[in-house]
Structure 1
Amino acid sequence: MPEIFTWKPQRGYSAERTPNVAIVKLGDGYEQRQKKGINPLMSKYSLTFRGVNGSCRVNPAKQAEAFLTARMAVESFYWTPSDTGVQALFVCRSWNMIKTGPLYELTATFEQVPR
């Protein structure tokens, strides 16, 4: 069973949704459109996590990166986006960590995958 990603992104996030649609082009510029598959709408989220290294603080950016590294873009995980409030299955294919002094900033893209 997939693990649950529990960290909360800072300062919101962006959500991208691209419906999976089959398009048939007909004469005179007309076209016919139809949903494809049983999961025609999957979401992609761009998230940012921040944390400061300190002796008594937990760094959410480093913890989130360790979680993603452990899955290596192979294992999916559950996450609940606040815009839908519905837990879904995601994979993170790439992320970026920036360190500025004691501040760590992780940016990641979560792509929804079928259950």
Structure 2
Amino acid sequence: MEQFHWHVMPNMSERAQPRVKTVKFGDGYEQRHQDGINSDLRTYEVTLKVPRDESHYIDDFLAKHKGIKAFLWREPNRHRLITVKCSVWSSTIENTVTTISASFEEVIA
């Protein structure tokens, strides 16, 4: 499995939304439990700022994985290597730099 080795900017956002199954009973009572063993996968909104002539390497890497193939990425806050996929990214091209915004979704396999 390939690894995404470019460094993201420190102002990334991390979103957690654990999957929960809920059964509602009468009088407001409800029972909750986690939905599966990997119910707390995260999503990261990352930004990279790279020289304009190097941005195509990142775009090529993400395009090669087509939003379905997973790759390894070192999550900068906890410094752990996780498996993610990227289904959506965009580029803003300026004179000498390109800013790439991407959404990395943690996956299992």
Which among 82, 97, 101 is matched to residue 95 of structure 2?
101
Moved more, 104-113 or 75-84: 75-84
- Listed as ranges, the matches of 1:1-115 within 5 Å are 2-53=1-52, 59=54, 61-115=55-109
Q: 1:65 offset after TM fit, Å? A: 1.7
Q: 1:20 offset after TM fit, Å? A: 0.9
Distance 1:73 1:46 in 2: 15
Distance 2:35 2:52 in 1: 46
Aligned residue type for 2:4: F
Aligned residue type for 1:9: V
Q: 1:22 offset after TM fit, Å? A: 0.3
TM-score by length of 1: 0.87
Aligned residue type for 2:84: F
Distance 1:13 1:62 in 2: 21
Distance 2:101 2:52 in 1: 17
Q: CA RMSD in A?
A: 1.4
TM-score by length of 2: 0.91
Distance 2:106 2:34 in 1: 17
Aligned residue type for 1:65: D
Aligned residue type for 2:20: V
Secondary structure of 1:107's counterpart equals strand
What runs of 5+ residues in structure 2 fail to find an aligned partner? none
**Percentage of pairs with the same residue:** 28
After the TM superposition, which segments of 4 or more aligned residues of structure 1 sit over 6 Å from their partners? none
Aligned residue type for 2:85: V
Q: 1:38 offset after TM fit, Å? A: 1.4
Distance 1:102 1:84 in 2: 31
